[in-house]
Chain A
Amino acid sequence: MLTLEGLTVRQGGFELRADFSVRAGAMTAVIGPSGAGKSTLLSAIAGFIRPSAGRVLWQGEDLGPLLPGERPATVIFQDNNLFPHLSAFSNVALGLRPSLKLGPAEGAAVEAALARVGLAGLEGRKPAALSGGQQSRVALARVLVRARPLLLLDEPFAALGPALRAEMLDLVAELARDTQATVLMVTHDPADAEQVAEQVTFVDGGQALAPVPTGQLLAEPPEALRAYLGQRKTRP
């Protein structure tokens, strides 16, 4: 279980509070207006920002003293998920060994992960020689080899077209099931949430609300969420 215990994060004049838990293995979408602090919430969990109060706990263990790389989490950013000077293979391998010194078994695991995301044969390519979708797949292959229990995605496929994005989200859902990961995914599109997330936490006014089942929230959105969703007609 991921627990945000009286968490307060301050950045400049901005403050975000969160106080809730997420069940292990759940897939939670984080939505809200831009500037509401969705990414800030993820950064605090990932360890990039030090909270001014409260704690982040995973299975009861305080993550506070851990560096980002030591936390039981894999992060996928909006962009810059790959090092442009390294091949697809090396970019995935970094998830296992930051030194890139792999044993034979580890090398095989990297190749298997790339094959699993449909990139068999493209191991040697650098990001510039891969399409946008393929680049995302490399980042996802790294999720596989890291096999960390937490997966944090920060609007990961915003640059992709709708069809490709839907495909990627499905792949994420599959991988999460395979690895039994607990997923937090920031998105600005409620459709993403509807597609893959079982529950949604809504961030607005400096507050991240406890997650609510997706269907329920979108069917009867609270006032603030209605304003965010605008004229969009929610499906029953």
Chain B
Amino acid sequence: MAGRARQLNLAVGAGSAAAAVVLALTLGTLGAVAWRAESAARLGPSDWAAVRFTLLQATLSALISVALAIPVARALARRRFAGRGVLITLLGAPFILPVIVAVLGLLAVFGRAGLLSQFLGRFGLPPVQIYGLHGVVLAHVFFNLPLATRLILQGWLAIPAERFRLAASLGFSERDVGRELERPMLREVLPGAFAVIFAICTTSFAVVLALGGGPRATTVELAIYQAFRFDFDLGRAAGLALVQFAIGAAAAGLALRFQVPQATGGGLDRVAGRPEADSPGRRIADTAWISLAAAFLLLPLGMIVLRGAPALFGMPPAVLAAALRSVLVALSSTVLALALALPLAFAMWHLRGRRLAGWLEALGYLPVAASPLVIGTGLFILFHPVVDPVALALPVTVVVNATMSLPFALRALVPAVARVEGRFGPLADSLGMHGQARLRHLHWPRLRRPIGFSAGLAAALSMGDLGVIALFADPEQATLPLQLYRLMAAYRMEDAAGAGLLLLVLAVALFWLFDRGGRVNADT
């Protein structure tokens, strides 16, 4: 069994190295901040109020995102129509948008001067009151409904078509299908989707503040921000970051206890014949759900396009240079994200059933709950004595962006690796396919779809991220999101809208290219 041990050691070794990088960037940077602190963490009543508000808004946001995603996913699962694939791709766009661009797009529809208010105004009705807890939740649903839909749709498509055929042959009504087939699937899928979205919403900050309507809408991340730049209390910043991790860890624990579905694009085109849902009434209901979701998600995107289009083709060279830089950063961080995610996924497969696999998976979730400000500050504290942090601005951005996209890449890759190894592992073993041979003739051809999806997501997320660059920013090495903020700070709101559109186009294009590249000529 020496050969097998070798194989195991290699996978676990590479996985552990990847895990160490994640650990260093999350808890390591937190430790650096705590170590540099002049006093121990003392959290006051306002901090705990921030914790309560964070829990409240994240719970509501995740609940509503998931609840709305159920009918939308069901409608997408049982209907086939022209443009379905394009719609599913575009629905992913809000998730990868930079916050400021998304907020302005949302407000162009739902704000006091937005489309909806103008429409109501024609009938003499007052404008929509968007600011407040419900505004925060609305924005989070905008960001996360597509993710929830994608996760739940995957669960639906995982129900074998034969079972729907069996149900049809037994004359099941829609209610029977719901009880016997769909509810058990949802019970498995929903907790995971809820937990992932909950964790994402806990670290939200700028959206919450902009739409929250006032200081009631203070989240933990804002409290960290305050501790750092208003009070320069690093101990409190570290303490709050730890609380944020604890909340995220609780959510991750939830997600791990209940199986989380994979989020790949695989199998999205398979539609099972569903006679029980064939009545005109059902058809109208499904059409309504799909249309409503599409309108809710695509209208703000459309407004971003409209607002940005006039300035798009007159972008200053500095913005174009920043765009190129951002694309390069995105491509590099995509490579790194895969270099971290694949060994982790294989290590988890080799260690399946053991406690260590669970730890690795939990670690993969950690970046969701990390505070970008704490990561940035921690890295700064660690690097400053050794090298000029400014010289490292872009490499640091690459590393952090890659780590931040890791949880989503793992969601797609871990189940895919398990599926490929489970189905073809014994055959490959019996043929003595190891190392290179296995990689080239089994893993690459079978995993390119989820790899393409993960790469697309990593690239798009990296395009839109601003998070940690602030402390490291090099004036001559600005990325596109930073340049966008600079345009705004210089009153150039129209150019900024153009830059926002450019960012949206580039992020969606990168996602599409990778996702597409994974599918072309891929036999399944």
Within 8 Å by CB, do A and B touch in the complex?
yes
Instruction: For chain B, give the interface size range.
Output: 20 to 34
A77 touches B426 (CB 8 A): yes
Per the bound structure, the CA–CA distance linking A67 and B428 in Å amounts to 11
B429 x A69 contact (CB < 8 A):
yes
Establish whether residues B427 and A81, one from each chain, have CB atoms under 8 Å apart when the complex forms: yes
Check A67–B3 contact: CB distance below 8 A.
yes
Closest to B444 in A: A85
A94: B residues at CB distance < 8 A: 431, 433, 441
Closest to A96 in B: B431
A95 within 8 A of B: yes
Q: Which residue of B lies closest to A84 (CB)?
A: B523
- The number of residues on chain A lying at the interface, defined by a beta carbon within 8 Å of a beta carbon of chain B, is 29
- Binary CB contact string for chain B from 400 to 442 against chain A (1 if under 8 A, 0 otherwise): 0000000000000000000000011011111111101110111
Interface string of A69-107 (1 = CB under 8 A from B): 110011101001101111000100011001110000000
The yes or no answer to B2 lying at the interface (CB within 8 A) is yes
Contacts of A73 in B (CB 8 A): 430
Known A83-B427, A100-B437; contact A69-B523, beta-carbon cutoff 8 A: no
Q: Contacts A80-B424, A84-B524 given: A75-B1 contact, CB under 8 Å? A: no
Check B1–A50 contact: CB distance below 8 A: yes
Tell me if B1 and A83 are in contact (CB < 8 A).
Answer: no
- Say if the beta carbon of B178 comes within 8 Å of chain A: no
CB atoms of B431 and A98 under 8 A apart: yes
Residues 14-25 of chain B: 1 if any A CB is under 8 Å from the residue's CB, otherwise 0? 000000000000
A74 touches B430 (CB 8 A): yes
Within 8 A of A (CB), among B459-479: none
Query: Smallest distance from the beta carbon of B316 to chain A beta carbons, Å?
Result: 47
Q: Which residues of A contact B307 (CB under 8 A)?
A: none
- CB of B355 within 8 Å of the partner chain: no
Are B431 and A69 within 8 A (Cβ)? yes
Which B-chain residue is minimally distant from A80 (CB atoms)? Answer: B423
The yes or no answer to B446 lying at the interface (CB within 8 A) is yes
List CB contacts (< 8 Å) of B126-177 with chain A: none
- A160 CA to B213 CA in the complex, in Å? 67
Q: If A80-B424, A83-B424, A128-B523 touch, does A69 touch B445 (CB 8 Å cutoff)?
A: no
In the complex, A126 has a CB within 8 A of chain B: yes
B4 in contact (CB, < 8 A): yes
Residues of B1-36 contacting chain A, CB below 8 A = 1-4
- Residues from chain A with a CB closer than 8 A to the CB of B440 are 99-100
B426 touches A64 (CB 8 A): no
- Cα–Cα, bound, A83→B522 (Å): 12
Residues of A within 8 A of B446 (CB): 85
B523 surroundings in chain A (CB, below 8 A): 84-85, 126, 128
Given contacts A50-B1, A70-B3, contact A75 B437 (CB under 8 A): no
Say whether, besides A80-B427, A84-B523, A98-B434, A64 and B1 are in contact (CB < 8 Å): yes
Residues of A within 8 A of B442 (CB): 83
Q: Is the CB of B430 within 8 A of A69?
A: yes
Interface pair A99/B436, CB less than 8 Å apart: yes
Minimum Cβ distance to chain B for residue A124 (Å)? 14
Question: Interface 1/0s, chain A 50-73, versus B by CB < 8 A?
Answer: 100000000000001111111001
| Given A67-B432, A85-B445, A128-B523, also A98-B437 (CB < 8 A) | yes
Asked if residues B436 and A75 are in contact (CB atoms below 8 Å), the reply is no
With both chains docked as a complex, state the minimum distance between the C-beta of A10 and any C-beta of chain B, in angstroms.
15
For residue B423, which residues in chain A have a CB less than 8 angstroms away from its CB? Answer: 80
Min Cβ gap A81→B in Å is 6
**How many angstroms between the C-alpha atoms of A18 and B5 in the bound complex?**
26
8 Å CB interface, B486-524 against A = 522-524
Please tell me if the beta carbons of B426 and A70 are within 8 angstroms of each other in the complex.
no
Asked if A98 and B433 make an inter-chain contact with CB atoms under 8 angstroms apart, the answer reads yes
Q: Nearest A residue to B422 by beta-carbon distance?
A: A80
**Which A residues between 9 and 59 are near B, CB-CB below 8 angstroms?**
46-48, 50
Closest to A68 in B: B429
Looking at B3, B438, B446, the one whose CB has the most chain A CB atoms below 10 A away is: B3
Chain A nearest CB from B245 CB (Å) reads 36
A50 to B437, CA, bound (A): 24
Q: 5 interchain pairs (CB within 8 A)?
A: A67-B1, A67-B4, A68-B426, A69-B432, A69-B433
Interface residue ranges, B against A (CB under 8 Å): 1-4, 423-424, 426-434, 436-438, 440-442, 445-446, 522-524
| Residues of A that sit less than 8 Å from B by CB | 46-48, 50, 64-70, 73-75, 77, 80-81, 83-86, 90, 94-95, 98-100, 126, 128
Pairs of residues from A and B, 5 with the lowest C-beta to C-beta distance, nearest first: A69-B432, A98-B437, A85-B445, A98-B433, A68-B429
Q: Apart from A70-B3, A84-B523, what 15 extra A-B contacts exist at CB < 8 Å?
A: A46-B430, A50-B1, A66-B3, A67-B3, A68-B430, A69-B430, A69-B431, A80-B427, A81-B427, A85-B446, A85-B522, A85-B523, A94-B441, A98-B437, A99-B437
